[in-house]
Amino acid sequence: MPPTILFDNGTHKNVLLEDVSSGLAVQANQHVIVDGASGMILDPGGHKVYSKVLAGTMTQLGRSKLEKIFLSHQDPDIVAATNGWLMTTDAVAYVSKLWIRFVPHFGLDHLVLDRLLPIPDQGMRLPLGSAEMLLLQAHFLHSCGNFHLYDPVSKILYSGDLGASIGGETVEVQDFDAHLPAMEGFHKRYMAGSKALRAWVKMVRKLDVQIIAPQHGALFRGPAMVERFLSWCETLQCGMDLLDDELQLPA
C-alpha cells in the first residue's frame, strides 16, 4: 500500500505513510505532517519499522526538515525507537510529563536526553511552520498520560489508540457497523472508562474535525463518519465500568 495523502494545499500536507507492519507486531500507522519547511512525525514506532519509517518520512519531507516528534503515549509501538530518531535528526520529541523518565528505559543516549520534552497535563499548542498544532488531553484513553494531536489546517484529529481497530478495514472505514467488531473488544479492555470517553467527546465537539485518524487500523473520514464514532464513544462501557466487584483467583 503506497503512502496516502490525506490533505495537501500546496504548503501544508498530511500523509499516512506506507504500512510497514509485519509478523507478530501489531499493525500501526505512522503519520507525517509538513508545513512549509517544517516537518513532524507522529508515533513513529519501534525498531522493527524504524529504518523504513525513517526513509518514508524523509521522502515525504523532501527539502523540509524534521523538527518535531509527537509521542501520544509511552507504549513500545510508539516510543521504542525514539533514540534512533533523536540521534539521526535534530528533532525534538514530545511525550506526556508522566512518561518523561520512563521512555529513557528504551535506551536514550545522554546526547539526546535534553531533546525529549514534557507535555503538561492540560496539553499545549505546538507551532509547526506557520501552523499551530493542538496537543489535546486524552488521559486514560488508554494511557494515564495520553495526548491526541489536532491539526487545524487539515482538520485531522490524530487519536492514538482511540478508534484503533485490528483486522477490520485497512485505510478508511466505509461501513461503521461492519467495522465495529474490529474495534469493540480492544476498546472495552484497553480504554479506562466511560467518564474519560464522555469528557473527551465534549472537548472534541468544540473542534471542526474532518478526519479521525487512529494509530492502528482504518480512519474515519467526513462529518457523518466522525459523528458516528463520537456518538459510539459517548455511550461505550469500557475498562473500569466493566470491572467485577470481586476479583477471582486463578483457576
Between residues 128 and 229, which has the closer beta carbon with respect to Fe ion? 229
- The beta-strand segments (E) located in 4-155 are 4-8, 12-16, 31-35, 38-42, 65-70, 92-96, 116-119, 124-128, 131-137, 147-151
State the minimum distance, in angstroms, from the CB of residue 203 to Fe ion. Answer: 20
* Nearest residue relative to Fe ion (C-beta): 75
- Nearer to Fe ion among residue 194 and residue 215 (C-beta): 215
List beta partners, residue 202.
Answer: none
Q: In whole angstroms, how close is the CB of 142 to Fe ion at the nearest point? A: 6
Measured on CA atoms in the order 170, 159, 3, 226, is the torsion positive or negative? Answer: positive
Q: How far is the CB of 75 from Fe ion (least distance, A)?
A: 4
We find the least distance from the C-beta atom of residue 76 to Fe ion, in angstroms, to be 9
Contacts with Fe ion, residue ranges (CB under 5 A): 75, 161
Cβ closest to Fe ion, residue 67 vs residue 75: 75
C-beta closer to Fe ion: residue 75 or 151:
75
Residue 24 C-beta: closest distance to Fe ion, Å: 16
Per the structure block, which three cell numbers stand in for 110? 545522554
Q: What are phi and psi of 27, to 5 degrees?
A: -60, 135
Is the Cβ of residue 19 or residue 75 nearer to Fe ion in the bound state? 75
User: Least distance from C-beta 229 to Fe ion, angstroms?
Assistant: 18
Look at the block and give the residue holding cell 465537539.
Answer: 205
Cell, residue 74: 509511552
- Angle at which helices 223-235 and 194-204 cross, to 10°: 150
In terms of CB distance, is 39 or 214 closer to Fe ion? 214
Across-strand partners of 66?
39
Provide, rounded to whole angstroms, the least separation between the CB of residue 135 and Fe ion. 17
Distance CA 242, CA 237 (A): 7
Residues contacting 154, CB < 8 A, separation 6+: 6, 7, 12, 14, 33, 210, 211
CA–CA distance, 198 with 203 (Å, rounded to integer): 9
- Nearer to Fe ion among residue 129 and residue 160 (C-beta): 160
Which three-class secondary structure state does DSSP give residue 182? helix
